[in-house]
Amino acid sequence: MPFRVLKDALTDGLAARLGRLSLPRRRPIETPNFIAVASRGVVPHLTPDNITRHTSFGGAHMALEDFLDKKEPAILNVPPSQSKVLHSFTAFPQHLATVLGPRRCPPVRTPSGNGSKSLTIWTSNGGASLTIAEYATYVEKLQPDIAVGPADLFHTSPTPSKKLVRMAERTEDWMDQFLLDGHGRPDRLRDADVAIFAPVLSAPYPIQWQYLNSLAEDHAGHLSGLALYGVDILPEVTENHESLVPLARLSMQLPPSPQDVLAQVAAGIDVCTIPFVNSASDAGVALAFQFPPPVAGVAGDLQGPGVTAATATPRPLGIDMWSPDHVTSPSPFVEGCPCYACTKHHRAYVHHLLRAHEMLAWTLLQIHNHHVLSAFFESIRCVLETAPGAAFREYVRSFADTYESEIPLGTGTRPRVRGYHFKSEGGEGKANTPRWEKYDENAQLTTASNAHNQTENGGDEHEGQWHATLGCHSDAQQGSTK
C-alpha cells in the first residue's frame, strides 16, 4: 500500500487527516497536498529544470487524450529505458509523480457523450472514441505512477439527470473490464509500479452503492486510491465501506478557490487537483494568500496593492500584474514571499514583460503561484499536526472572512489557447484576439492627421511622438511637417 495515514484528525465532524503517499522512485508526497495540472505533458510555462529548481509540488496530472493526435501516437515510439515511458517522453523530473487520466483537467466538452463501451475524448484533431481496452493498453505501455480508472462522466452539463444510474452502471462495468479482462493486468501494473485509483462519480451515494460495494469487496486489493469527482460522498463511503478507508483520496472535483480547497481538506481529501494556479498565471495574477490568514499589521502580512493594516477585509486572493499601479513599482510580487520570482524580480519588471507579451512573465508567475500553493498546503499540514480540529475550523472561518471569495480575473491579454484547451459555445466570441488585421489606409491617415495637429498645438516636445506615429509614411511627409 503506497499510502499511509499518519494522523487521523476525525474530531468535531472534521475528517481531515495527515498522510504520506510513497510511490517507488519518487519523492514522498506529504498530504494534504496538491498536484500540478499539465497540458500535453508539460506544466504550462515551466521547463523541467525550472520545476526542479523553483517548485516543490509532488507530481502532475496528465491526460491521455493530449497524446493521441495521430493514428500511431509518437509517445508509443519511445525506446525502452530505465525510466517509465511517460516520464521519458515528457522529460518530467524523475523525483515527481505522474498521474494519468483519460481526459484533461478540466475537460473540453465533447460534441457527443460516451458510448456503452468507449469514452469520448477531445484531441488536438477533434473528437475521438477511446475504448476501455485501448485505455488499459495505453496505461500498461506508458506506465504512469498513478492511473485513474475510466469513468462515465457528464459531457455537456454538471447538472444531475436521469442518466446517473446508467453512468454508475457503466463505470462499474468499465472498472471490471479495466481490472479483470486483461489476464492478470493488476499484477502486471503492480510489477510496473503503477498505482490504480478507482473513480467515484459526483452522484448521490444510493445510486453508486452497488458500484462502491463492488470496489470494496472485489477490487480493494488491487486499488491504491480513489479519484473522487464529487467530495460530498466521502462521509458515506467511509462509513459503509471499511476496506476503502485506508486508500489515498485524490480529488478530481476541481476547486475554483482556496476556500474550496480548505473545504475538500476538511472533508478528508488527501491530494487536490488544482487548475486555478495555471489560469491565474495566464491571467497575469500573482496569488497572495496564506493559511492561517495574516493578522493586520504583523510582519509577513501578505496583502495586495493599496491594502494596509487599517483597511477593512476582505482582501484580494491575488494581485493583477497588468495594473498600471505596478509600472514603476520595485516591490516583490508579494511582500515577504521567499520564492525565486519575488526575491530576484519585482512588479515593474513582470508588468513590463506582460505588456511586451514575453513568455518569461508567465514563467515567473507560475513559479510564484505554485510556491504560494505549496506554502499554503504546508501550513495546513502544520495546523493539523499541532492544533485540534476546533482550531482548524476556526482558521478556515477566519480565512473566509479575511479574503475575497474569488480569484481576480486579470485585466490583460492571456496567452493564446488551442483547440484542445477550449471549445467555444454558441454566441461566444473568439478566445484569441487576431494578431493581424486588414490594413485600413483611411484609418492610418486619420491617425497621422491627429498626430500632426497635436504636434502643431503642443510644440516641439511632441515632435518625437508624431514621428513615431508616422513611421510607416514617407520621409517626405515627415520632412514637410518640420
Kindly list the distances between the CA atom of residue 290 and the CA atoms of 111, 229, 405, in Å, as whole numbers in the listed order: 40, 26, 14
Q: Which residues does residue 8 pair with via DSSP β-bridges, in sequence order?
A: 17
The residues near 259 (Cβ < 8 Å, ≥ 6 apart) are: 399, 400, 403, 405
Judge whether 63 and 104 are in contact, CB under 8 Å.
yes
Compute how many other C-beta atoms are within 10 angstroms of the C-beta atom of residue 289: 26
Percent helix, strand and coil across the chain, each to the nearest 5: 40, 15, 45
- Is 337 marked as binding a ligand? yes
Residue 385 near residue 303 (C-beta atoms within 8 A): no
Residues 6+ apart with CB under 8 A from 243: 216, 217, 220
Report d(CA 5, CA 135) in Å as an integer: 30
Residue found by looking up cell 492610418 in the block: 444
Is 342 one of the annotated binding-site residues? yes
Q: Can you tell me the distance from the alpha carbon of 428 to that of 423, in angstroms, rounded to the nearest whole number?
A: 10
Q: Distance between CA atoms of 167 and 161, rounded to whole angstroms?
A: 10
- Per the annotation, where are the binding residues? 337, 339, 342, 368
- Per the annotation, where are the binding residues for Zn(2+)? 337, 339, 342, 368
